[in-house]
Structure 1
Amino acid sequence: MSNPINMQLDARTVEILSGITTATLTTLLLKKGLRNVWLRGTRPLRPGQPRLVGRVFTLRFVPAREDLATPESWSSPISTRAAIEDMPAGCIAVVDAMGVTDAGIFGDILCARMAKRDVAALVTDGVVRDVAGVLGTGLPVWCSGAAAPPSVAGLTFVAWQQPIGCGGVAVFPGDVVVVDDDGAVLIPAALLEEILALAPEQERLEAWIMGEVEKGASLPGLYPPNAENKARYLAETAKDRA
């Protein structure tokens, strides 16, 4: 089930997006007409994790079916174990768990293997199990919480590197995801270059506006800036944008 998509992001892309908040990204994508890019239920398992950027590597669960969702299925060629061995270094695993919160999709052993393979992070609208052990692996995780039962108690694993829905968002292999304390935001692959061009300027503008607010400026005409404030902003930040 390997996909020929180049999963490695170049250093420039990682550097730019590592400095852009997911909040800013949602604003930029909204301006491009995309309202549904924030993956619901993806909260950092450990608050304060660094902002991470990576190509999406998808995994998909469907509802549990008793003849398929068994402990024996873990040894199947189509299994989470096999999918993990297909994950390239630097990817972010995005898992469609259908929002199920009473069956943990991965535990400490699977997360430890992902960490060994240099997977950047795990993102899911489901939950994990063995939380203390998962935290101990050092793998950054964004999820909806924890549950003791294994995945087969509520889910059947069916595929990887296929289009999925995670947190109500359509996710395709090769898309880019950015995660921070506000959750996970998807950047469609086709819009990546546009966002890379726009994001630093948006962050610079908002930082300037925050500085003005801290000086006591009122919001009308400042956020968003009117023509006068826009001109002042451009003049004061000309060196930064050169």
Structure 2
Amino acid sequence: MNSVTRQQLATISTATLCTALFKRGLRNQFIQDVRPLNADLPNMVGVAYTLRYIPAREDLNPITVFQDRQHPQRVAVDQCPEGAVLMIDSRKDARAASAGSILVSRLMKRGAAGVVTDGGFRDSPEIARLPFPAYHNRPSAPTNLTLHQALDINVPIGCGDVAVFPGDVIVGDGEGVVVIPAHLADVVAAEAVEMTVYEDFVTEAVLSGRSIIGLYPATDEKSRADFAAWRQAKGR
């Protein structure tokens, strides 16, 4: 993802991005049942770096596994690249924690762009106070040992019913998280910027009392002409 695309995506809502993706036949890119711990942070934008959990098996996943310096959860956190989003497949199960505030703090200090799990986090109040985008299903008090076993790093995963491949572009806002296939990121970002400009024009017009018929979408020539004049006046 180039710097221009990253800057563009930082200004676009996940709703608009989903519409741009839908125009290309991609209907299932918004991660289900995942919410920001702090909806007031700026957009999260980064490339996917993944961690996959499977159901824990007691003989293979006692508490002593954390003494292993190669434990996949610890390695994923400590090797997540700068500017990447750690995407965690927790099987949509928030009964056991994907991580807690210490691991999320480590991601933040490493320069990661954010963290997303379709499970839950421990210490969610502490994570919510960090200046770092974090998205989960709901808080989790137990350790991940009770139900989850970390297995694979940077492989294709499912997160909230969405396929996530390493290198996919991830955008999160106050509503949730969308996954953009890497090869579409530049064109989707550019189109979504244009969509956002028109939506801003429409919002202003609707708030002034104008009907949406012929305006949204722009099926009337007058709407297109008014938009062109508005855009010139606004310098957009």
TM-score bin, normalised by smaller chain: over 0.9
Matched-pair identity in %: 37
Which consecutive unaligned segments of at least 5 residues does structure 2 have? Answer: none
Q: What is the aligned counterpart of 2:34 among 34, 42, 46?
A: 42
Q: What is the CA–CA distance in structure 2 between the aligned matches of 1:147 and 1:230, rounded to whole Å?
A: 50
Q: What is the aligned counterpart of 2:4 among 12, 21, 25?
A: 12
Q: What is the CA–CA distance in structure 2 between the aligned matches of 1:75 and 1:234, rounded to whole Å?
A: 63
AA of the residue aligned to 1:197: A
Kindly report which structure 2 residues correspond to 1:111-130, keeping only aligned pairs within 5 A, or say none.
111-130=104-123
Residue in 2 that maps onto 1:231: 225
Q: What is the aligned counterpart of 2:156 among 148, 163, 184?
A: 163
Q: What is the CA–CA distance in structure 2 between the aligned matches of 1:136 and 1:211, rounded to whole Å?
A: 34
Residue in 2 that maps onto 1:105: 98
Q: Give the secondary-structure state (helix, strand or coil) at the position aligned to 1:38.
A: coil
Q: Give the secondary-structure state (helix, strand or coil) at the position aligned to 1:105.
A: strand
Post-superposition CA distance 1:153-207 (Å, at most 9, x none): 1111101100000000000000001001110001100111211221111000101
CA contact under 8 A between 2:8 and 2:190: conserved in structure 1? no
Q: CA deviation at 1:45?
A: 1.0
Matched, 1:73 2:77: no
Q: Give the secondary-structure state (helix, strand or coil) at the position aligned to 2:81.
A: coil
Q: CA deviation at 1:240?
A: 6.0
TM-score (norm 1): 0.91
Pairs aligned (count): 234
Residue in 2 that maps onto 1:25: 17
Q: What is the CA–CA distance in structure 2 between the aligned matches of 1:82 and 1:72, rounded to whole Å?
A: 16
Q: Identify the range of structure 1 (20-29 vs 218-227) with the bigger mean alpha-carbon deviation.
A: 218-227
Superposition RMSD on alpha carbons, in Å?
1.7
Q: What is the CA–CA distance in structure 2 between the aligned matches of 1:179 and 1:237, rounded to whole Å?
A: 27
Post-superposition CA distance 1:56-114 (Å, at most 9, x none): 11110011111222222223324210111211111111110011111011012211211
Q: Identify the range of structure 1 (18-27 vs 193-202) with the bigger mean alpha-carbon deviation.
A: 193-202
CA contact under 8 A between 1:58 and 1:162: conserved in structure 2? yes
Q: What is the CA–CA distance in structure 2 between the aligned matches of 1:160 and 1:92, rounded to whole Å?
A: 13
Q: CA deviation at 1:47?
A: 2.5
Q: CA deviation at 1:48?
A: 1.2
Q: Give the secondary-structure state (helix, strand or coil) at the position aligned to 2:91.
A: coil
Which consecutive unaligned segments of at least 5 residues does structure 1 have? Answer: 1-8
Q: Give the secondary-structure state (helix, strand or coil) at the position aligned to 2:186.
A: helix
Q: What is the CA–CA distance in structure 2 between the aligned matches of 1:143 and 1:235, rounded to whole Å?
A: 43
Residue in 1 that maps onto 2:53: 61
